[in-house]
Chains A and B, each alone.
Chain A
Amino acid sequence: MNSYCTPQDHINRRALLKGSLLTGAGCSVANFGSLFGADEVTKTAQKKGKRCILLWMNGGASQIDTFDMKPGRPTAGPFRPISTNVDGMQVCEYLPKMAKQFDKLAVIRSMKTGSPDHPDGIYHMHTGFKMSERTPHAEIGAVISKYCGNLDADLPSFVRMGPCGNAGPGYLGPNYAPFSLKRDGSMPTFSTNNLKPEVRERRADLFRFLESEFSKQHKAEPFEGHRLAKERAWRLLRAKDAFDVSEEWPKQKDRYGDTNFGRGCFMALKLAERGVPFIEIGHDNYDSHANNFVCHKANMQQLDPAWSSLLIDLEDRGMLEDTLVVWMGEVGRTPYINNRAGRDHYIKAWTTVLSGAGIVGGQYYGSSDEDGREVAENPVNEGDFFSTIYTSLGIDPRKKHFWGKRPVWLTPEDAKPISAIMS
């Protein structure tokens, strides 16, 4: 399906104003690459309608208690591995539903990263760059919003809920800022309006009248940008029923799990169906410096139904081939268990999981040593990881942007996509 042809996408106004580009399917495509020079990659990604759903494990999930288990080793902990639908791959006993989705998953067990704490790790694992750099890098949602989104769609192109990234749109600018739902998926402040619809409409008409008088003589781009943003904000109000899943939820809550995270995953599916190219759902809280096992057992019981149902539903709708589902947090957790039965932050060898959008499932990439202390083979850093994500979505990972005079790239110079897991 081509998500850019859904009825929710109005014919884009900017393209009409500037002379529209028409795709094969007859849909208008925004010419918004013009801000930084026309961009072939943008158009390609749009036509393919690629999307990304990020399941963000806030605080940092434990790899050893989930996807990189070390049975029989002193670092193992109390959980047992179970087999999955792929020979030779195992997963924690508390992810039984995910065990049946392993043919879709590429499990990267060799993450070796550079920022050991929360704010800096969250930044690093949302941008691919260290927080201490003073350049305001754009986070993954903003990048995907820019390259896979359509500024003229009614719905925002970067939606998130729960605890998520901390970098924002950075050098890409406010057009790519996140639209942050509340934890329970309800709408953020300022997205409901108490005026009567007819009052809203007459006020809007008055605005349009004054602007049209002004625009007869004043052609500068900022004015046009101002009007377009105003219209987008009004259209969002009209399209916001997309965020209301209350009618379908009763039928879905047993599958996804009746939790904020489960509901968030279901909403992500619905928004992806309506062409939203990036949705991030944060899952709290994995930062188990104490009682790691209690915490992880509880979290996995929420994670398992939500994530597996999302993958099943994406596949059923034929959307998985265009939708990248990412599972990650800012850090992993220590192999050793501390005296509070906790695991602390660990960045020398940890795990992330990718599926969909051409990722070849049913395989491991890289590995850690027998106790999970070091990467044994194929280390992957933040840059490589983001390079893989962007490449699988049809975005050039070395796309150049600018912060003032300074060139900035989407990923660091030495970053390489993991071609072994991409078809």
Chain B
Amino acid sequence: MNFVNSRYSPTVSIRSYLLLLALFYGELWSEPLRKVIDREVSAGWKKEKLEPSKLANDETFLRRVYLDLLGMVPSYEEAKAFLEEESEDKREKLVDQLLSDERFGKHQMQIWDLSIFTRKPANPSFTKDRDRFKDWLAKQFNDNVSWDGIVQKMILAEEEGSAMFHVQYRNKPEDETVAVSRLFLGTQLQCARCHDHPFEELSQKDFYGMAGFFVRLQVLQETKDKKKVYTIGEKSSGEVMFTGDVREQKPGDKGEPVKPKFLLGDSLNEPDLPEDFKEPDYKKIKKAPYPKPYFSRKAKLAEWMTSPDNPYFAKAAVNRFWAQFMGRGLVHPVDNLTPDSKPTHPKLMDALAKEFIAHNFDLKWFFKEILLTKAYQRDSAGPGEEATPKWYQRARVRPLSAEELIASLRVATRFDAAESKEKSLPNATKSYMTKIFGEPVDGRGNFQGGIHEHLFLNNGSQLPGIIRAKKGNLAYTLLNSENTWGGRMDELFLSTITRTPTEAERNRMVGYITASEDKREIQARLEEAIWTLLNTSRFRFNY
């Protein structure tokens, strides 16, 4: 826009000019976060005298970002569309497109659902069926509700579905204290449950002070449309009892009531109950809504936790989300945040937290800034054996979750294209697959490929059943293609492991499949070839 030649009135033009000026300087004043990230990460390499790997090519980037954002590999068509696109900013366009894909919220939900409930949820009879919670949480991510908003809603538990968070800890305020501190404040308090923390300034009083926020919560269970529905209530009285160090405890010790206290912070200021206050009998309430408490402790907790001034909340969040994409936290493990913890990249930690707050805890913005860094877009090839390099000189390697494996198997084999209606993988339901692929790591999060997953993959009839040629699916399409076998191998590789084969791979594969002229034998061999690709490291990991 040009001031002199403007057809608009001078005032409008001046306004536009000032706006442009402001934008220009604004840009200078606040450097985009992605640039800060790259600067700080490369400062780390220099300090450690490390050579970074090259940038990942489009194929590697494509597969990585699909798995990280949507929890599944791209389909053949999606892969082709991206690889054939020629615009300079196609990676940014792809990230934008995936962030607004419905599958995004569902995948982020799965990550958090698993963090919150684990594969073996507490209180399983209540938490086993939590579809309402999952739908609720997926919607939060898809609607891009800010992170402080999502956490507030979980603590307040006023929206349909959100109550499940508290239900897990019904009558267990101490367990909930551990979980809330770990998940949302990045801090592990479980030591302080039984004794003052040996190395840190955490005392048992801090622990029981936090538990005081949960001790009054009540869970009401009703059945609506044959489904369990939960409502969270809060009493106006009741305290946590503190008995001191468990090692000095005597049987029958009931302990002293403790007032709520914010973690390593102030005690809660709370009004006294009126003398004539009578606590309703919660056991007799069988129908929602619950009465409102005289004073809501959980509301105060939610407010304190998600406040920009909270010393842990933003840091814990950026550290966790960073680790989700980068493989390890700047403080590692991600729930190891303490007042004295030293991040690998202290300036970066501060910048991430500050900018996340400045952008009102905007998740999609934050994810995009990380995904568009060179740091995220490094190749995972190169020397060194660690799965998650501490200095991010190489991309991290992580196994696909059971959910990602199921979804990716469906996409790669074009399972759904061959079915008239949606159905689960034959004889490989989710609960079954999570039993086999659910926890492929040891106590420190290192991948361990147990033989059980391979016994299943090698010997079970499930995987061959999913692969077997059926009108519309991958095996069928390749068998009936007009293309040369060499060309069909490109489609096979791109469909399964999101890259085109090398010349050696293509030749070997074509030789393998066409070693016979018998039609049925060719089909069998093609299905074996698909089986093999789905068993390789390139399929098993996000790398």
- Across the interface, name the chain A residue whose C-beta is closest to B449: A229
Q: Is B449 a contact partner of A202 (Cβ separation < 8 A)?
A: no
Residues of chain B lying within 8 A (CB to CB) of residue A229: 448-451, 453-454
Q: Are A222 and B532 in contact (CB under 8 A)?
A: no
4 additional A-B pairs beyond A199-B524, A206-B512, A213-B505, beta carbons within 8 Å, are A173-B443, A223-B541, A225-B449, A404-B335
Q: Which of A174, A206, A214, A223 contacts B450 (CB 8 A)?
A: A174
Chain A residues, Cβ within 8 Å of B380: 218, 220
The answer to whether B386 and A177 have CB atoms under 8 Å apart is no
**Are B508 and A206 touching (Cβ within 8 A)?**
yes
**Contacting chain B: which of A74-82, A231-239, A302-310, A346-354?**
A231-239
Residues of A contacting B381 in the complex (Cβ-Cβ under 8 angstroms)? 217-218
Contact with A along B417-455 (1 / 0, CB 8 A): 000000000000000000000011111111111111111
Which residues of A lie under 8 Å from residue B536 when comparing CB positions? 207, 210-211, 214
Q: List 20 A-B contacts (CB under 8 A).
A: A36-B444, A136-B120, A172-B442, A189-B460, A190-B458, A190-B459, A192-B459, A193-B458, A206-B508, A206-B532, A220-B385, A221-B386, A221-B387, A222-B387, A225-B449, A230-B454, A232-B451, A233-B451, A237-B459, A408-B443
A49-88 CB mask vs B (1 if < 8 Å, else 0) is 0000000000000000000000000000000000000000
Q: Decide yes or no whether A251 CB sits under 8 A from chain B.
A: no
Q: Which of A209, A215, A219, A236 lies in contact with B382, CB distance below 8 A?
A: A219
Cβ contact within 8 Å between A173 and B335: no
Bound CA–CA A223/B385 (angstroms): 9
Contact A405 B335 (CB under 8 A): yes
A174, A236, A404, A405, most chain B CB atoms within 10 A: A174
Contact with A along B500-528 (1 / 0, CB 8 A): 00101100110010000000000010001
For A223, the chain B residues whose CB sits under 8 A away are 397, 537, 541, 543
Residues of B within 8 A of A226 (CB): 447, 449, 537, 540-541
> Which B residue sits closest to A405, measured CB to CB?
B336
Q: Establish whether residues A404 and B333, one from each chain, have CB atoms under 8 Å apart when the complex forms.
A: yes
- A110 nearest CB across to chain B (Å): 21
The answer for the CA separation of A245 and B529 in the assembled complex, in Å, is 36
B371-385 interface with A by 8 A CB criterion: 380-385
Instruction: Tell whether B175 is near chain A: CB-to-CB under 8 Å.
Output: yes
- Given A193-B459, A226-B537, is A174 in contact with B448 using a C-beta cutoff of 8 Å? yes
Is the CB of A35 closer than 8 A to any CB of chain B? Answer: yes
Among residues of B, the one whose C-beta sits closest to the C-beta of A170 is B443
Q: How large is the interface on A (under 10, 10 to 19, 20 to 34, 35 or more residues)?
A: 35 or more
Contact with B399, one of A171, A188, A222, A404 (Cβ below 8 angstroms)? A222
A residues lining the B interface (CB < 8 Å): 35-36, 134, 136, 156, 170-175, 177, 179, 188-194, 199, 202-203, 206-207, 209-211, 213-215, 217-230, 232-234, 236-237, 401-406, 408
Asked if A218 and B543 make an inter-chain contact with CB atoms under 8 angstroms apart, the answer reads yes
B98 contacts the other chain (CB 8 A)? no
Residue of A nearest to B456 (CB): A190
Residues from chain A with Cβ under 8 Å of B512 in the complex: 202, 206
B448 nearest CB across to chain A (Å): 4
With A192-B459, A236-B455 as known contacts, state yes or no: A221 contacts B443, CB within 8 Å: no
- A407 and B175 CA atoms in complex are apart in Å by 19
Instruction: Tell me the complex Cα distance, A404–B443, Å.
Output: 6
Structural contact, A173 and B541, CB atoms closer than 8 A: no
A326 to B529, CA, bound (A): 48
Q: Give the residue of A170, A217, A228, A406 whose beta carbon is less than 8 angstroms from that of B449.
A: A228
**Most B-side CB within 10 Å, residue of A210, A224, A236, A403:** A210
Which residues of A lie under 8 Å from residue B440 when comparing CB positions? 174
Chain B residue with minimal CB distance to A404?
Answer: B333
State the CA gap A206–B541 with chains docked (Å): 19
Chain B, 167-194, CB within 8 A of any chain A CB: 175, 188, 190-191
Is B535 among interface residues, defined by CB-CB distance under 8 A? yes
CA–CA, A209 to B445, complex, Å?
Answer: 29
> Which one of B333, B443, B529 contacts A172 once the chains associate, using CB atoms below 8 Å?
B443
> A194 — which chain B residues lie within 8 A by C-beta?
461
A165 to chain B, nearest CB (A): 15
Q: In the assembled complex, which residues on chain A have CB atoms less than 8 Å from the CB atom of B439?
A: 174
Of A191, A209, A221, A406, the residue contacting B459 (CB under 8 A) is A191
Contact B450 A177 (CB under 8 A): yes
* B455–A220 touching, CB < 8 Å: no
Q: Is the CB of B382 within 8 A of A234?
A: no
**Could you tell me if B447 and A225 are in contact, using CB atoms closer than 8 angstroms?**
yes
Q: Which residues of A contact B382 (CB under 8 A)?
A: 217, 219
Taking A190-B455, A222-B541 as contacts, is the C-beta distance between A401 and B443 under 8 angstroms? yes
Confirm or deny: B407 has a beta carbon within 8 angstroms of a beta carbon on chain A: no
CB-CB nearest in chain A for B454: A233
Q: Which residues of A contact B528 (CB under 8 A)?
A: 199, 202-203, 206
CB neighbours of B533 from chain A (8 A): 210
Query: In this complex, what residue of B is CB-closest to A178?
Result: B452
B337 to chain A minimum Cβ distance, whole angstroms, is 10
A170 and B398 CA atoms in complex are apart in Å by 20
Q: Provide the residues of chain A in CB contact with B104, threshold 8 Å.
A: none
Pairwise interchain contact A222-B443, C-beta atoms closer than 8 A: no
Question: Is the CB of B359 closer than 8 A to any CB of chain A?
Answer: no
Docked complex Cα distance between A272 and B441 (Å): 28
Which residues of A sit under 8 angstroms from B538, Cβ to Cβ? 210, 214
Chain B CB count within 10 A is highest, among A136, A206, A403, A408, for: A206
State A321–B536 Cα separation when bound (angstroms).
44
| Cα-based distance from A214 to B533 in the complex (angstroms) | 12
